[in-house]
Amino acid sequence: MKLQINPDIIKKYDVQGPRYTSYPPVPNFNSNFKEIDYINYLQLNSITNDISLYFHLPFCKSLCYYCGCNVFITSNEEIKQNYLESLKKEVRLIQKYLPKNITVKQLHWGGGTPNSLSNQQIYDLFSFIQSEFFISANAEISIELDPRTTQKEQLSLLKNLGFNRISFGVQDINEQVQKAVNRIQPVDIIEELYFYARELSFYSINMDFIYGLPEQNLKNFSFNLKKILEWKPDRLAFFSYAHVPWVKKHQNLLSQTRLPNSNEKILIFKEIVEKLTDHGYIYIGLDHFAKPEDELSKAFLERKLHRNFQGYTVLENMDVIAFGITAISQFQKSYVRNLKSIKEYKHQIQENHIPVFDGYIMNQDDLIRKDIIQKIMCNLFVDFNEIEKKYHIDFYKYFSKSLEKLQELEEDGLVEIRNHSLNILTKGRPLIRNVAMCFDAFLEKKDHSKTMVYSKTI
């Protein structure tokens, strides 16, 4: 696939906007949403039979300067152990309100660095989850791994426990880039772990990379691509570095002058797309790639792909119940986010309270827009007839403002509106966040304090 890159278009659309892991995006969650609202929602008995569980394990040994996650830097075993005890208690607090017949179809451990736990802690937490929930035999069970803290025995343990999908955070193999971002991980170590994981036959191995980091340029990024094509992981994610030092203060530690500009960034991304698609990978959604035989690729080609806070998935409309600090639960009509500080989180749980920070209950308008934005971000296509039938609306009337905004994108060759449908064209692929923004009612409110927290779309 050849991406058409026009510097004027890139400049024009390089604005701040959400990544749409949820709609409404997190800054629009409501701080008046309290524990009682969560309990009331759970008691409505509207939880889906098949569910996804997310466990947030926030510990890391050192801070990567680009980090946008919710992390806690420590090697203190006692802090980790206390947190794990709180996590277990949180599960029991929520369990009281869950129906008995639910089946876990997806289980994800994210962070932080989930594998900074000891092998014993990993074993204990996994056994606890198994004792509390019925996990389907074909469930997706995945974990994010930092190669710097991964050992071969740990990979064997994960495989034996039932983890079938692993994801290595590689980011960039170039030493200069690694130094600039305070994340030194020799490529030999990554390679050895990757091939060992291959021997263990995990169902799927993903690698995460980041483009837009300091010291990166088109030339040195090509070494990443060369290695990737040797390794051939099943899936790849290339995240655009989100430089938001006004939100993540530690990002000020990165040398701003060494950051590639939007044009260089997009040229790196163009190279990624062209190299990987030339070698058979399918370019999925915003920034993911998978081998053609991978279920994500098949779902994407059939326009049946979905997305939640854990990433792209083939599983449809499952509620996600999330545990741990800052974890976000996603239900059919609601979001609930947990407290941010470990101290407060622990305290609330000790007092037998569900540690709710904020949340959101969706109205009908939110649900329609959420559906459309999902279709744009996952399948690059919206069938107006389908939306009209599902929500009993006249698409052209209901979305007259959105269609007006899309006109400009159509004139620039990014999208095509034809035969009662919206199609994102090749030229618009790196700009699907901008397309989705046309349907975002919260951006229309032009609340500067909320838009300021977003990263640039490129």
User: Which residues contribute to the site for ligand SF4 (CB under 6 A)?
Assistant: 60, 63-64, 67, 69, 71, 111-113, 146, 169
CB of 68 to ligand SF4, least distance (A): 7
Q: Which is nearer to ligand SF4, 113 or 455 (CB)?
A: 113
For the chain, the maximum distance between any two Cα atoms, rounded to a whole number of angstroms, is: 61
Q: Which is nearer to ligand SF4, 57 or 276 (CB)?
A: 57
Q: Which is nearer to ligand SF4, 210 or 387 (CB)?
A: 210
CB of 57 to ligand SF4, least distance (A): 10
3-state secondary structure (DSSP) of residue 421:
strand
CB of 422 to ligand SF4, least distance (A): 35
CB of 162 to ligand SF4, least distance (A): 24
The structure tokens listed for 433 are 């966040």
Q: Which is nearer to ligand SF4, 69 or 393 (CB)?
A: 69
- Helix (H) or strand (E) run with residue 206 in it: strand 204-211
Write out the DSSP string of 214-240: TT--HHHHHHHHHHHHHH--SEEEEEE
Give 383's strand partners. 421
CB of 280 to ligand SF4, least distance (A): 29
Write out the DSSP string of 91-158: HHHHHTTS-TT-EEEEEEEEES-GGGS-HHHHHHHHHHHHHHSEEEEEEEEEEEE-GGG--HHHHHHH
Q: Which of 167, 160, 318 is nearest to 237 (CA)?
A: 167
Q: Which is nearer to ligand SF4, 97 or 239 (CB)?
A: 239
The structure tokens listed for 389 are 């039938």
Other C-beta atoms closer than 10 Å to the C-beta of 125 total: 20
CB of 404 to ligand SF4, least distance (A): 40
Q: Which is nearer to ligand SF4, 112 or 355 (CB)?
A: 112
Q: Which of 135, 127, 216, 206 is nearest to 178 (CA)?
A: 216
CB of 71 to ligand SF4, least distance (A): 5
- Helix (H) or strand (E) run with residue 13 in it: helix 7-13
CB of 64 to ligand SF4, least distance (A): 3
Asked whether 54 and 110 are in contact (CB, 8 A), the reply is yes
3-state secondary structure (DSSP) of residue 51:
strand
CB of 141 to ligand SF4, least distance (A): 20
Q: Which is nearer to ligand SF4, 69 or 229 (CB)?
A: 69
Q: Which is nearer to ligand SF4, 26 or 356 (CB)?
A: 26
User: What is the per-residue burial (b if ≥16 Cβ within 10 Å, else e) of 129-152?
Assistant: beebbebeeebbbbbbbbbbbbee
CB of 182 to ligand SF4, least distance (A): 8
201 DSSP 8-state letter? T
Q: Which is nearer to ligand SF4, 159 or 250 (CB)?
A: 250
Q: Which is nearer to ligand SF4, 42 or 173 (CB)?
A: 173
For the chain, what percentages of helix, strand and coil (3-state, to nearest 5) are there?
A: 45, 20, 35
CB of 232 to ligand SF4, least distance (A): 24
Q: Which is nearer to ligand SF4, 13 or 168 (CB)?
A: 168
For residue 417, how far is the Cα from the chain centroid? Answer: 28
Give backbone dihedrals phi and psi of 426, rounded to 5 degrees, phi first.
-50, -40
- Helix (H) or strand (E) run with residue 356 in it: strand 356-361
